[in-house]
Copies of this chain bind each other. A is one copy, B any other.
Amino acid sequence: MEPDRWLGLDLRHLIALKTIADTGSFGRAADRLGYTQSAISQQIAALERVVGLKLIDRPGGPRPISLTEAGQILLRHAEAIEARLHAAKADMEALSAGEAGRLRVGTFQSAGARILPVLLRRFSEAHPQVEISLQESSDEDDLLEMVERGELDVTFNTLPVSSGPFETVELLSDPYVLVVPAGSPLAAATRAPSLKEITLQPLIGFSRCRAMDAVESQLTSSGRAPNIVFRSDNNGTVQGLVGAGVGVSVAPLLTVEADDPSVVVVDLAGRIAPRVIGLAWHRDRHRSPAADAFVETAIAVCSELSAASAAA
């Protein structure tokens, strides 16, 4: 049996290829990786011998290098192998931490505000030895990238998630409502405002994210782009500006403080598709018993939250 030279391939050579592609030069890749340019040159030469193809065009002199087609194709594989290695590393670290280990959870504000308090209390009662660490971002795709790099074990996200090595479970549907200042003509209306009517108002929006883009896309399909006058990451800020009369807001129901007398919440009667909140984790990773339990608890909590809001 002849040894397969591919098995002798050095993972560091794949990382060198990736860093060259990223930085655009052998020298800058060497700086970033803490090698000399000579080492990088030799690594790529070794990789080319394994692969049997030229991976990088070197025109000579000060002209910039470029990846060949083979180089570009191999780069995709290199990135996937690196990601898989991150997943393996994350699994080993989680196992090292053991049953009393940490569960690293990603969250964004509106999911955090309503689901997490109940969920964390319920979960911690059942698993007091498990430490939860939370990472918040206003960008769901940021959280997914962290899951992919093994930096988070599980994250809240809006579904469907961006494509990638993820598995998800749906937790709840969160309908969009129109938040208007108390005393606004829209507050007294007896029917849901049309999308076009909403676009005629100054709009207080949330920071750009996949869910927000979907809302704005739906508003735009009414024939007029929404007039966003302000964006914030912060639920309270958005609602405060509405109450102060600066504008109205299309907001997920979960983000709205219902007791606030300065605003009125107007049902949109399904004119905007509801936001679906779920949990996502890395498809390739081993699921620890703690992660399993966290997901199960989240499903139960949100089922109760949904039932409670259907009864109200």
Footprint of B on A, CB under 8 Å? 1, 3, 6-12, 15, 32-34, 51-53, 69-70, 73-74, 76-78, 80-81, 84-85, 87-89, 91-93, 95-96, 284, 286
- Residue contacts A-B, CB under 8 angstroms, 16 given: A1-B34, A6-B85, A7-B11, A7-B85, A8-B11, A51-B92, A52-B92, A73-B88, A73-B91, A74-B88, A74-B91, A77-B85, A78-B88, A80-B84, A81-B81, A81-B84
Chain B residues with CB under 8 A of A70: 92, 95
In the assembly, how many copies of this chain are there? Answer: 2
Nearest opposing residue in chain B for A83, CB measure: B84
Nearest opposing residue in chain B for A80, CB measure: B84
Q: Is the CB of A80 within 8 A of B284?
A: yes
Given contacts A76-B286, A92-B51, contact A3 B84 (CB under 8 A): no
Nearest opposing residue in chain B for A78, CB measure: B88
Chain B residues with CB under 8 A of A76: 284, 286
Task: Tell me how far the C-beta of A177 lies from the nearest C-beta in chain B, rounded to whole angstroms.
Answer: 40
Nearest opposing residue in chain B for A73, CB measure: B286
Task: Tell me how far the C-beta of A240 lies from the nearest C-beta in chain B, rounded to whole angstroms.
Answer: 42
Chain B residues with CB under 8 A of A92: 51-53, 70, 73-74
Q: Closest 8 interchain pairs by CB?
A: A77-B88, A73-B286, A51-B92, A70-B95, A6-B89, A73-B91, A7-B12, A81-B84
Q: How far is the CA of A76 from the CA of B6 in the complex (A)?
A: 19
Nearest opposing residue in chain B for A68, CB measure: B95
Nearest opposing residue in chain B for A11, CB measure: B7
Chain B residues with CB under 8 A of A81: 81, 84-85, 88
**Contacting residue for A9 out of B6, B11, B53, CB 8 A:** B11
Nearest opposing residue in chain B for A13, CB measure: B7
Chain B residues with CB under 8 A of A53: 92, 95-96
